[in-house]
Every structure is written in C-alpha cells, then in structure tokens.
A and B are shown apart, each in its own frame.
Chain A
Amino acid sequence: MDLLANLALGFAAAATPSNLAFCLIGCLLGTLVGVLPGVGPTATIALLLPITYHFEPTASLIMLAGIFYGSQYGGPPTPTPVPPPGPPASVGTAIDGHEMAKQGRGGVALATAAIGSFFAGTVATLLIAGFAPILTKVALSFGPADYFALIVFALLVSVSIAQGSIVKAIAMILLGLLLGLVGTNVTSGTQRYTFGVLDLYDGIDLVAVIMGLFGVSETISSIERHRVIPMLIAKVTSLMPSRKDIAEMTPPILRGTALGSFLGILPGGGALLASFASYSMEKRFAKDRSQFGKGAIAGVAGPESANNAAAQTSFIPMLTLGIPANAIMAIMASAMIMRGITPGPNVMTDQPVLFWGLIASMWIGNLMLLVLNLPLIGVWVRLVRIPYDLLYPAILVFCVIGVYSLSNSVFDIYVMLAFGIIGYLLSKLGCEPAPLVLGMLLGPMLEEYLQRAMLLARGNPIVFVERPMSASLLALSVIILAAAALPFVRRKRAEALQE
C-alpha cells in the first residue's frame, strides 16, 4: 500500500509539465550525445552537468537522470546500422545488431533493443521503489563503524569486478582517497596537501577530475585509435518483429533484466559490465552458438536489457546508502551535494517528493525513449555519420566551457587538463580511472566515519568487529580480497572479464 502511495506521489511530482519537459530534454540530450561515437555515458553526463545547474533540484536531477539513461539508450540506434566502435556500454549489441542490419533486419534489431530496454527499465524502476525503503531503514540503523565497513566493502567489491590488475585498481582507489583529502579538513581546519595554492583550499573539484579522466583522456585515446571506418548505410527496414523473433527475444530479455538488475547494485558494476556479462551468458544459453556474432537476436536482446536494468538499479546504493556505485553515480551524487542534498537514507525521508519524483521520472523517461527513439532513428543515424575529426574538437570545447562554468574558475580547466593527461597515461599503464573517482568521492566520508567510530568507541578499534553489521562486512571484504588473490579465481575472473 505504501508502495502505491509513494509511487503516486512520485508520479504526481514527475508528471508536472515542467518536469516532464526536463525529463524529455534530458532523454533527448542523453541520446543525442550518447549516439555520437567516442563519447561514453560518463563523459556525456559530466559534459552536460553544468547545463542542469540553472534549474531547481528536482528538475535538474530528473534531467540528469534522463541524460544518463538516455545515453544508455543511445546504444541501440548507433551500433545497429553502423559498425563498432559504438558507445562502450553496448559493445555486445554492436556486433550482432550490425550483423542483423546487414541481413536487412536492422529495424527488428532496433525494435528488440527498444523493447528489451523498456521492459528492463520498468522492472528496475519497480525494484528501486520496492527495495529503496527497506535499504533506507537498514541504512538508518547504521552506526559510523558500520558505514566505515560498508565503504571499505564497496571499494573492495568494485576492485574485484574491475577490469585488469587488482593491485592497480586498489592503488587507484588509494590515490583517489588521497586526492579526496586535498583541501581544508573540516573537523580540524588543517590544510592538507594544498602546497599553499589558494585554489586548492576548497579541495579538488570532483567533476573537473571526472571530466578530465572521462572526457579529455577518452578523447585523446579515441583520436589515437580512430580509423576512418567505412559506413554501412543500412536501410531501416520493417520494425515489426515476427512472432518467432518475439519468442526468441523473450527469454534473453528476462535473463538480461535479472542479471543487469543485480550487477547494477554492485559497487563498480553498472551498465558496461552488465552488457558484457549478459552477452557471454546468452552465448552459454544459446542452442546454436555459431549464430553469435552473426546476427543472433539474443545477442541484442540480452545485453540491451541488462545494461538498462543495471543503469537504473545503480541508483539504489547512492539513493539509500549514500554510496555511489560507479563514476556516473559519483557525478549524480556530487550534483546532489552541490544542491545541498546529501545522498543517503535521509533523502527519502526528508525529500520524499524529490526521491519518488526521480524514480517515477525514470519510468516516464523510459516510456519517452521507447516512443521517441523508434521514429527518430533516421535522425540519430545521420548524426552518427558526422566525421570524428569534426566531432572531437566540439567535445573538447564543451568540456572546457562546461568545466569553467562549474564555478567560473579557470583553475578548474587546468585541473581537468591535468587529470586528462594523468588519466590517459595511467590507462596506458593498465590503470582504469573509475576506482580513482570512487575513492576520491568516498575518501572524506571514509575518514569521517573512521574518526566518529573511534570517538564513540573511546579509541578502541574493537568496535569494528563488535558490531555484527560492521564485522560481517569487514569479514566479507577480507574474503573478497583473499579470493581475488587466489590463482584459480584470478584465472576465472580474467576469463569472465575477457568475454
């Protein structure tokens, strides 16, 4: 009953004409930037973040969320008529979708992606609405020691499912934690790592770092990788899937939704991982594996559902526990903080309209995308054909103006530039940027909870193993770390992430 009342509240908030408009603009902008080659969803949302500053909090969060899942939808239209590289979140789809287009079934591939995404989005919205209140209640009973353990746990889970070397991922988290400490320490007033630079007294702007790591650094890598790809201009044929298509796409959509919903909640998970995982799962379930990579409808339906489900369930840890699960949620969290809203269990109780409005808007946004994308495919396809040589200078211009407008500071442009270079070089050395962002955002929280827990326990560190919640979370963290170091698990993990 509560659930219905809450959803009603949310839909009432989300369905006001202005919020509907913001949702629509967000979805369109997200799709627009999402279809452009070489711009991933993280860069998209960082790029468009400054635009949302001018609106009231609910509207701007609805718009940001729209940008986010809009950019996830940005996947289906692009890879299908155009060969990879598409947006990174839909790599699996790219292969089979492209093959389907070659066979003159591009329309069906698009329809499959749209239906799967919409179904997954609907399920994920219901999951958020159902689980968020429960998790919020759990979170409200957390003490500082539990929070400390939870953050440690989240960071280690994100490491264990990150790509590449575990030691490197841990080092990136630690580097992020250190970067998060730069500035004036709130509790003591001490300047840490500011080196007398006035611009550093308030800390390093996380969004500038993210724009550097994901906008500038990715652009440099894309220019380097970019080859001129011959464009396949497939006519978008009939959109209607046949009865056989529907029978073939249903199980993958269901599996993809379930897998994606689960992976989305995990720290470090999210859309990209879900998309990959679903693709390899469908391959395993397939009766005829040889069809994969040659236009299997399951190879489109599964990953597209999974990445959408994951995109949405990744809101759960941020909204209920205040712990963002990935870099995109870190941006959402910093957008909330900038508006004076602290992400965490209090959002639901203190700002029910914002909370439920945001959730309801996700479903509305999914519906809009379903309705919009199919007729607009022609427009998106034409956009994709903009040569990258003309596109990336525009992306860079957007980055510099966007980062400057965060707080009208030229210094932030230099921060972005520095992290663009650092991110590029570190990625060359096999260090992924995402853990650094998580560490940077969670660093101050981790320190504060550690201090508070020690204060409450009168300096006795046994508090971390005394409380059942904190003890079990820390035990799980140790197990994860130990397991990840085992040669057998390491091999399996490398295999699973390879596919």
Chain B
Amino acid sequence: MHLVRRPSDFLSGLVFFVIGTVAAVIARDYPLGTARMMGPGVFPLIVASLLALCGAILVGRAFMGGREDRIEIAPLPLLLVSAGIAVFALTLMGAGLVLATMALVLISSAASGRFKPVSSLLLAFGLALACTLGFVYGLRQLLPVFGSWFTPFLG
C-alpha cells in the first residue's frame, strides 16, 4: 500500500481499466462492418479502448507525484440510504406506496446517526399520506396505494 501514493488515482484507474477492457472484449462480438458502412462494433471498441487507456494512465500515475490523503467513507449513510431505496423498490408492488414509503423513511432516517423514533415515525406517516394524496390522487400516477399482498384481504 505504501507504493501507491495516490489511492484515488489507483482505484478509479483500476475501475476504468477493468470496465474498458471488458467492454472492449464484448464489443469484439459485434459486427465491425467496413470503413464505409461502420458496424455497431466500431464505436464501442474505440470508446472502450480509450477508457482502458485512461484507466492505465491513472494507475500508472498513482505511483508518482505527491502523496494524497486517505479516502474516508462513512458507511452508515451509504448503507442505510441504499437499503431504504432497495426496500422501497422491493416492496412497492407488493406492499404498496404507503408501507414502502414508510419503510424508506424509517430506514433512511437512521442514516444520519441521530435516529429519533417518534419524529421519524411521524415523518413517515406524514410523507406516506402526502405522497398518496399528491401523486396517486393529485397527479394520478399509477401507483398501488396498497399492493398485491393485500388483495386477498381487500377483496
């Protein structure tokens, strides 16, 4: 790790290099055509190769130049916001807008590390109500208020 002076160059370069290389390999399966009638493989091949080149330059540069601060990532906001959105997406059709919204609000509220159960619950209720009224009845979006999981009970 001491060899890598610039971790942000190294990591981003690696990502770009891998994506570029994979994309270029995949692009070789697409027809190349002729110079006059360029096939769908030419442009991706050029772009992907350039991306891999940029990645390689960044990786190379990571070993040179001044040292850089360590990259710090706070795990809580990233994980809980992502989890909240994923739960919303997973439950929207089944549980419906009201419960999915409440789940998103409750999970993501904890992301700040200052979770207050009462105010979060109130916020979840309020937003679920406001969104149902605003989006479903106001703007007439096609959103299930209560989803397919509830159909047996709602008749």
Residues of A within 8 A of B (CB): 50-51, 54, 165, 167-168, 170-171, 174-175, 177-178, 181, 185, 187-188, 190, 192-193, 216, 219-221, 223-224, 226, 388-390, 392-394, 396-397, 399-401, 404-405, 408, 410, 413-414, 416-417, 420-421, 424-426, 428-431, 443, 446-447, 450-451, 454-455, 458-461
In the bound complex, residues from chain A placing their C-beta under 8 Å from that of B51 are: 171, 174-175, 178
In the bound complex, residues from chain A placing their C-beta under 8 Å from that of B88 are: 400, 413
Q: Are A175 and B16 in contact (CB under 8 A)?
A: yes
A226 with B81, Cβ < 8 A, contacts A167-B57, A405-B141, A459-B36 known: no
In the assembled complex, the Cα of A408 lies from the Cα of B97 at a distance in Å of 13
A192 with B40, Cβ < 8 A, contacts A171-B54, A171-B55, A220-B78 known: yes
Q: Are B35 and A461 in contact (CB under 8 A)?
A: yes
Q: Give B135 Cβ to nearest chain A Cβ, in Å.
A: 6
In the assembled complex, the Cα of A175 lies from the Cα of B15 at a distance in Å of 11
In the assembled complex, the Cα of A450 lies from the Cα of B46 at a distance in Å of 12
A390 with B119, Cβ < 8 A, contacts A171-B12, A417-B89 known: yes
In the assembled complex, the Cα of A215 lies from the Cα of B23 at a distance in Å of 27
Mark B81-111 against chain A: 1 for CB-CB distance below 8 A, else 0.
1101110110011000100010011001101
Partner of A177 from the list B27, B47, B142 (CB cut-off 8 Å) is B47
In the bound complex, residues from chain A placing their C-beta under 8 Å from that of B139 are: 51, 54, 405
Q: Give the residue name and chain of the A residue nearest to B75 (CB).
A: A224
In the assembled complex, the Cα of A390 lies from the Cα of B109 at a distance in Å of 8
In the bound complex, residues from chain B placing their C-beta under 8 Å from that of A190 are: 30-31, 40
Q: Are A224 and B71 in contact (CB under 8 A)?
A: no
Number of A-B contacts (CB under 8 A): 181
Q: Give A60 Cβ to nearest chain B Cβ, in Å.
A: 13
In the bound complex, residues from chain B placing their C-beta under 8 Å from that of A219 are: 81
A174 with B92, Cβ < 8 A, contacts A223-B111, A396-B84, A455-B37 known: no
Q: Are A171 and B16 in contact (CB under 8 A)?
A: yes
Q: Are B30 and A192 in contact (CB under 8 A)?
A: yes
Residues of B within 8 A of A (CB): 8-9, 11-12, 15-16, 19-20, 23, 26-27, 30-31, 34-40, 43-44, 47-48, 50-51, 54-55, 57-58, 61, 71, 73-74, 77-78, 81-82, 84-86, 88-89, 92-93, 97, 101, 104-105, 108-109, 111-112, 114, 116, 119-120, 123-124, 127, 131, 135, 139-143
Q: Are A223 and B82 in contact (CB under 8 A)?
A: no
In the assembled complex, the Cα of A185 lies from the Cα of B40 at a distance in Å of 7
In the bound complex, residues from chain B placing their C-beta under 8 Å from that of A389 are: 109, 112, 114, 116
In the bound complex, residues from chain A placing their C-beta under 8 Å from that of B140 are: 54
Can you list 12 A-B pairs, Cβ within 8 angstroms, ordered by A? A171-B58, A181-B43, A188-B39, A390-B123, A392-B112, A393-B105, A393-B124, A394-B127, A400-B104, A401-B101, A405-B135, A414-B86
Q: Are B104 and A455 in contact (CB under 8 A)?
A: no
Pick from A416, A425, A429, A443 the residue with the most CB of B within 10 Å. Answer: A429
Please give 12 more A-B residue pairs, beta carbons under 8 A apart, in addition to A168-B54, A181-B43, A188-B31: A50-B141, A174-B50, A193-B23, A193-B26, A224-B77, A389-B114, A390-B123, A396-B85, A405-B143, A428-B73, A429-B71, A459-B34
Q: Give A196 Cβ to nearest chain B Cβ, in Å.
A: 12
Q: Are B84 and A428 in contact (CB under 8 A)?
A: no
Q: Give the residue name and chain of the A residue nearest to B34 (CB).
A: A459
Partner of B36 from the list A192, A226, A429, A455 (CB cut-off 8 Å) is A455
In the bound complex, residues from chain A placing their C-beta under 8 Å from that of B116 are: 389
In the assembled complex, the Cα of A453 lies from the Cα of B131 at a distance in Å of 49
Report the 8 A-B pairs with minimum CB-CB distance, sorted nearest first.
Answer: A459-B35, A459-B36, A171-B54, A223-B77, A429-B12, A174-B51, A413-B89, A447-B43
Q: Are A397 and B16 in contact (CB under 8 A)?
A: no
In the bound complex, residues from chain A placing their C-beta under 8 Å from that of B97 are: 401
